[in-house]
Chains A and B, each alone.
Chain A
């Protein structure tokens, strides 16, 4: 399964809060469904807790409310992860582009 180091901080936070309350994933889903989130599945909670998937801000607020956590802190945590992920993607893209440029330059010099 996928591992993401720091990217999983949000998921770990949700998991810790849930376990501190002694709830299973089914219990959490029941609470969410009682608040109108009918389409939440166990697989979605697994993805949030284990694979670092970041839910919508409204969902995060609801989650914070149910788990008794500070909504602002949770949103900030989610935001930081998203920004971090975006930076990493951007860095990867730049490195790829730089590599491609070097290869093309090398070919051009050879042909000259």
Chain B
């Protein structure tokens, strides 16, 4: 049986990981890369080389998907027709960090839930919300996260970038000195979320320009960022922190 056939039987986290690993391995093989520093995941290439030849899903980005329950619909998968629709507001040429993850999420539905009779309509809440009630949304998110950020490659790139194998420890608001690509850089951290985003930022371009938030969550999951305070990771707080920092700089 080919490794890239949709998972048969029960869909587990491990089986999704195995599937995405085989896809990424094939991508690397097709690209002919031999060294770690050559690895850069490009969404267009990934679609052309791996995703379309295996699953034959057509991606349409020109249709406005409108709203569902007062929330903007970002993506839709029609498994019967083998079509993935992504809202033009987040798709190229517009630059939106949500695009790669939404793309992966919709492909997750397309690959894992082939037997589903209905189509999947995914809003901001169903893709990026932290608490999912629907198991299928969680599975699609796992697929997307592992497709764009395979564990071993993230760890390897983390080591390559920061030249350290041990995790970063957040111990509160203060100045942190981070060694990045051989140079020590001071970071004045305002919150745990801000710390995570700062650590995740240099790794994003290697993984299909995935959002910093997704990468930060992945690094926490892999234990590469440790939190020694009571603060929690909050995406909204990060945004407010960024706005404040920009405003303060202007003053």
Contact = CB atoms under 8 A, between A and B. Distances in A.
Interface in B68-122: none
Nearest to B26: A42
Interface in B7-53: 30, 44-45, 47-50, 52-53
Contacts of A47: 48
B124 interface: no
A42 B30 contact: yes
Given A1-B47, A41-B30, A46 B53 contact: yes
Interface stretch (B59-67, B135-143, B227-235): B59-67
- Interface of A (DSSP majority class): helix
B243 to A, nearest CB: 33
Contact of A46 (B52, B60, B61, B62): B52
A111 interface: no
A50 interface: yes
A85 interface: no
A26 B47 contact: no
Given A25-B52, A25-B53, A26-B53, A3 B45 contact: no
Contacts, number: 37
Contacts of A45: 53
B62 A24 contact: no
A43 B61 contact: no
A18 B53 CA distance: 12
Given A24-B53, A25-B53, A42-B49, A1 B61 contact: yes
A69 to B, nearest CB: 19
B180 interface: no
Contact of B49 (A24, A43, A49, A50): A43
Contacts of B56: 24-25
A13 B71 CA distance: 37
Contacts of B44: 1
B58 A43 contact: no
A43 to B, nearest CB: 4
Interface of B: 30, 44-45, 47-50, 52-53, 56, 58-62
